Amino acid sequence: MKEKLDPRHLARVASLQSLFEWSFNSVDIEEIVKRDTKEHVHLDDTYQEGFQVDGELALFISRGVTDNLDPIDKIIETCAPEWPISQIAKVDLEILRIAIFELYIAKNVPTKVAIDEAVELAKEYGGENSSKFVNGVLGTVVKEMLPHSKKGEK
């Protein structure tokens, strides 16, 4: 598991929080990310003041998700056909969007890292079965949408 104070993990947390807020009001994502990375990233007491967030990564992920929302959502619809986008819990949906952006569009992290991070976010912020759901959908994404992925990389 990643260290909870790892700047890249915190960037994904900031992206998740920013995208969650954006999903309700569609305000400029850059404005939301800048505020979230400056003010706070975590609402519980496991994080201490002075933690470092990779703000550039948080903005890259958040902007990447919002700029590629339609293709990302089409991947989700293809890989989780029994779950219409409107019926997926918002937190789980944003976690999936982040992971799919990193895996399929940005291709900036190894498959295993993207899935592990998404599952960790689901455990931290999602419901009781979120981590299983996220893991299952991303497993299907890797199997069906990323045929070039190495088996050992999953």
Cα→Cα distances 17→39, 59, 85, 121, Å: 12, 12, 19, 11
CATH topology of domain 7-153: N-utilizing Substance Protein B Homolog; Chain A (1.10.940)
pLDDT 10s per residue in the chain (154 long)? 455 678 899 999 999 999 999 999 877 899 899 887 775 544 444 444 556 788 899 999 999 999 999 999 999 999 999 999 999 999 999 999 999 999 999 998 999 999 999 999 999 999 999 999 999 999 999 998 776 554 444 4
The structure's pTM equals 0.85
* Domain range list for the chain: 7-153
